[in-house]
Amino acid sequence: MLIYSLLLCIILHSTALFVGVTEALFDQNGYLITDEMEEMCSAACYPSIKPLFNYVGTCQENDKTLMELQDRVEAQDLKIINLKAQAESLHTQKEKLLDENNCAPHIIVEEAIQQVLLLKTEFNSELTKLQETVEETEEVLAALLQEKLDRIKIAESLQQKENTLKNDELSLKQREESLKLKEVSLQQKENSLNQKKKEDNSNDIRTIRVSGIDPFEAPYESNSAGSDWIVIQRRVKMDVSFDRSWKEYKNGFGSLRGDFFLGLEKIYRLTKSSPQQLYIQNGQKHVKFDHFRIRSELNGYRLKSIGAAYWHDAMDIVDMLFDQVGMRFSTYDRDHDGDCSSNWAKIHGDGWWYKKVPKSLLDFGAVKMMIRANND
């Protein structure tokens, strides 16, 4: 700054013209060039003095930069001093520690060795315990694995047995079904044999002699109600039509070894010769009347009486016959049913002692009618 000031003074003393101007250029904050100064100097010396002013400004800027650098250097020097102080303090502490340790180094080493040995012993002890635990665990796991394998084998064995039992059960069911089928077949054969036996019983054809009519043949049959029953009507095979004329019902029709009707005239002669029981069989149903009798042809073979009834699950048959007592026999060509508007024999397709209520024994399906002398 001193150099700059001297330079400015020389310039100012050598140029008196610029005294007033120079005072205007400086203030308490430094050098300043105003617009008025520029105008005053522009005519004479400004072109030669202006570079000096510019140089002065540049020197000021450089001086400011130098001062900033000096401040930074001083700060770095302060840091270095502090670091050196810290280093000396650490060195002092180190020396102190070394002095303390140099007092008994072998004792410290021995204690350290003892601690290491103690730790090693404890580690070895814990390692041994751990190995023992591992071995025990392995043994337990091996036992558990073996037990699991045994259980798996047992389960497989049980599954095989269960499968075998299921197969045996299925086989037993199949055998049971086969036995049931065989049982049904045997039952059918037995029924067939019983039917054949019954037919064989029915094939016991005998000649009957009774007054008022020529000798005739009729099948005899034995059943739960006794023996020596004369079959007067059989409709089992359903292979013979019962839609017949008066003459056919009078004389009889069909085969004595199959489905047939004995004939009203023969039945009349039998019931006239002696009191007769009447036995009707319809499947599992059966009923017996103790005094069965019909009148002659002149009376239309009227159902005169049937007597008292003894039955098993055949109340419908009993009611029907009791209701028809007193009725004459009807066929499609002789209507005696008492209903002028209808011929029930023709409508039903069979002959019977029809009344206004159109029912006959043939409505019950497979039936047999038998008579036997009532000797009670």
In a shared domain, residues 218 and 364: yes
| 173 contacts 193 by C-beta, under 8 angstroms | no
DSSP letter at 259 equals: S
In a shared domain, residues 358 and 269: yes
| 122 contacts 114 by C-beta, under 8 angstroms | no
Q: How far apart are CA 152 and CA 224, in angstroms?
A: 67
pLDDT at 263: 97
Q: What is the DSSP string of 266-303?
A: HHHHHHHHS-EEEEEEETTEEEEEEEEEE--GGGTS-E
| 372 contacts 277 by C-beta, under 8 angstroms | yes
Three-state secondary-structure class, residue 371: strand
pLDDT at 17: 45
Instruction: Assess if residue 94 is contained within a domain.
Output: no
For 342, other C-beta atoms within 10 Å of its C-beta total 14
Q: Kindly calculate the radius of gyration of the chain based on its CA atoms and give it in whole angstroms.
A: 75
125-141 exposure pattern, b = at least 16 Cβ within 10 A, e = fewer: eeeeeeeeeeeeeeeee
* Domain end among 202, 235, 266: 202
> Residue 36's Cα: distance from chain center in Å?
112
Q: How far apart are CA 343 and CA 358, in angstroms?
A: 9
Per-residue pLDDT of the chain (376 residues), as tens digits, is 555 555 555 555 555 444 444 444 444 455 455 566 556 556 555 666 666 667 667 777 777 887 887 788 788 778 778 877 877 887 787 777 666 655 555 666 677 788 878 888 887 888 888 888 888 888 888 888 888 888 898 988 889 888 988 888 888 888 888 888 888 888 887 776 665 555 555 558 999 999 999 999 999 998 878 889 999 999 999 999 999 999 999 999 999 999 999 999 999 999 999 999 999 999 889 999 999 999 999 999 999 999 999 988 889 999 999 999 999 999 999 999 888 888 999 998 999 999 877 788 888 888 999 999 987 6
In a shared domain, residues 179 and 219: no
- Structural domain span for residue 75: 2-87
In a shared domain, residues 60 and 159: no
* Domain end among 202, 225, 258: 202
pLDDT at 216: 96
- Note if the pTM is more than 0.85: no
In a shared domain, residues 18 and 141: no
CATH code of the domain covering residue 275: 3.90.215.10
Q: What is the count of structural domains for the chain?
A: 3
In a shared domain, residues 352 and 227: yes
The pair of structure tokens assigned to 63 is: 């001086």
In a shared domain, residues 331 and 273: yes
